[in-house]
Amino acid sequence: MQIAVAIALLAIAMAWSFTVITGSKIVHKAQQISGELLAKNAFLMMARLDRDMDYRIALLGTLGSLPFIRHRNDPQAIRATLSNTSESLPALVWMALTDAKGYVLIATDPRLESTSLAEHPLYRQAVDKLYLGDRLEGTLITEEPGQQARLVDLSQPLFADDGSFSGVLAARFSWQLASNALAQLPVLDADTQDLQLLILGHDRQVLLGPAHLQGRPLPALARQSSLAWQALDWPEEGRFLTAFAKSRHPSLGWQLLLRQPLAAANQVDTEITLSIFWSSFVVSLAVAALGWWLSGRITRPLTRIARAADRLSAGIPTVIPQVRGAREIETLSQSISQLVQNLSQQQSALGAMESLALKDPLTGLPNRSALLRFMQGQIDPLVFLYLDLDGFKGINDRLGHQTGDKVLREVASRLVHNIREGDIAVRLGGDEFLVALQLGPHIQPVQVAERILATLNQPISLGQEMLDVGCSMGGAYWPKDHEDPKAAVDLADRALYQAKAAGKGRVHFYRHPD
């Protein structure tokens, strides 16, 4: 009787221990993966906003460097240039050129002309350097007063040939520019159930987010560490898995928060844990009943099984012995083997979840997480090629997202076939890709980049449709251009914008300023 009770208790304890340990690991690991995915998506979204703002800054700087704008000697050409630029910039309210005293000489909105911006930060803070500001203002200058609007102001000082200040080139954007930028960036690799996006201004006012929070200042959250994601208590709302990302432009002070209710994030984990618990509990009861009923006949076989179970508890890989003899003994042996197999499959599922977190689900290419792992293990120098498809948005708008997805998969396939073993092609998001090449004595990065560019510029055949997509490419070397590989990727991104500004469909490598 005592042997039967001891065997039953041992079986129950073993099953319960496996359930608690495995369930706890699943919940912890799954929450960690969900948090990291939220953080990666928050980073990608904020990077998209920053790159969109970088493009506007670069464009304004390019316009300000044009001789006829700097010298203001061809009003007709200036007006045409500002008008054409405003048509290509979403969310632009107006652009204006002032004289040295702040009076508007030429503007895309005629109502601004001859008015003074001398008392406005657009002029006052741009007399010696670029001005970028996020402000809440009661007038759009060209609209009726009394309206409250979130605006982004950007202005560039202009200087005459003798170095004297001659005026500013200013642009005003509505907050719609952020909505437009984020609308083009899908949330990647994440369970989007109850996912909520918030963007805060420098005053912690919710600029974009749920309706009940929008326009209200958000109180400081009690963060326990500096991690990019945490499980936090939101006042009067509950507990959320929350990821944070800050803008690279301190004058804007934007902060992006991506949050998901903890209950929604843990729903699948809870179901798996309950399934493990009930499976283990049922098997434990069966083992206990068999042990109680057949204690006299199964002492020796169960001793072998108990020893195998002890080795498993110690972490030693062991196969549960298949005992031959009475049917009940064989059933017990098979039941315990199935229990161990089921729990081992749950452990394998954890590994599969981690593998999925490193791949882009649409193209099958490695994602940004895989790129970070790749860079961490590198010793030899690298060259980063940052790619952006030139005609992709038009294909999406004209032929739909399904065709766009096929184009992205074809681009991924061409990239894979144009790199060597040891190199990596990554999809960063949207229509942006990155290729990391390992430098060697016989590698010619410029030739490789031009070969990839030529391959991607070839028409893509989809059924009876031949699509011309094309791409632009920026390159940077690590550690030659920067000792931090992440910063080198940013330099390649900056070179990409220079390639686009120079006419698209070309390669441009980053050059250090003289």
Is 480 in the same domain as 385? yes
Q: Which residues are paired to 383 by β-bridges?
A: 437, 477
**Residue 151 belongs to some domain of the structure:** no
Does a structural domain hold residue 278?
Answer: yes
Residue 216 lies in a domain: no
What is the separation, in whole angstroms, between the first and last Cα of the chain? Answer: 89
- Which range marks the domain in which residue 315 is found? 271-356
The answer to whether position 137 is within a domain reads no
Choose one of 356, 389, 419: the last residue of a domain. 356
| Same domain as 481, residue 372 | yes
Same domain, 334 and 383: no
Domain match, 335 and 455 both: no
Domain boundary among 356, 391, 410: 356
Residues 6+ apart with CB under 8 A from 349: 26, 272
The torsion of the CA quartet 112, 113, 119, 121, rounded to 10 degrees, works out to 60
Instruction: Quote the CA–CA distance of 88 and 151 in Å, as a whole number.
Output: 19
Domain contains 7: no
- Is there a single domain that holds both residue 301 and residue 429? no
Distance, in Å, from the CA atom of 23 to the CA atom of 15, rounded to the nearest integer, reads 12
Model pLDDT for residues 371-418, shown as the tens digit of each residue:
998 888 788 899 999 999 988 888 888 888 898 999 999 999 999 999
Q: Are 496 and 446 within one domain?
A: yes
- Say whether both 431 and 496 belong to one domain: yes
Residue 87: per-residue pLDDT: 87
User: Would residue 256 count as lying in a domain?
Assistant: no
Q: Please count the other Cβ atoms lying within 10 Å of the Cβ belonging to residue 80.
A: 11
Residue 188 has a pLDDT of 45
The CA distance from 184 to 395, in Å, is: 13
How many domains is the chain partitioned into structurally? 2
Query: What pLDDT does residue 139 have?
Result: 52
Which of the 8 DSSP states describes residue 220? P
Dihedral of CA atoms 54, 56, 59, 64 in degrees, nearest 10, equals -110
Domain match, 492 and 373 both:
yes
Helix axes 295-313, 2-64, angle to 10 degrees: 30
Please tell me the predicted confidence (pLDDT) of residue 427. Answer: 93
Name the domain boundary from 335, 356, 377: 356
Q: What is the pLDDT of residue 226?
A: 59
For 209-290, strand residue ranges (E) read 229-234, 238-246, 255-261
Q: Are residues 403 and 493 in the same domain?
A: yes
User: Do 285 and 373 have their domain in common?
Assistant: no
> Whole-model pTM?
0.47
Co-location of 292 and 377 in the same domain:
no
Using 70 as the pLDDT threshold, list the residues of the chain that sit under it.
Answer: 1-8, 11-12, 14-16, 18-20, 22-24, 27, 136-149, 177-193, 221-227, 265-274, 276-281, 283-285, 287-330, 332-333, 337-356, 514
Q: Do residue 499 and residue 383 come from a single domain?
A: yes
Does residue 405 fall inside a structural domain? yes
* CATH code: domain of residue 423: 3.30.70.270
Query: 395 in a domain, yes or no?
Result: yes
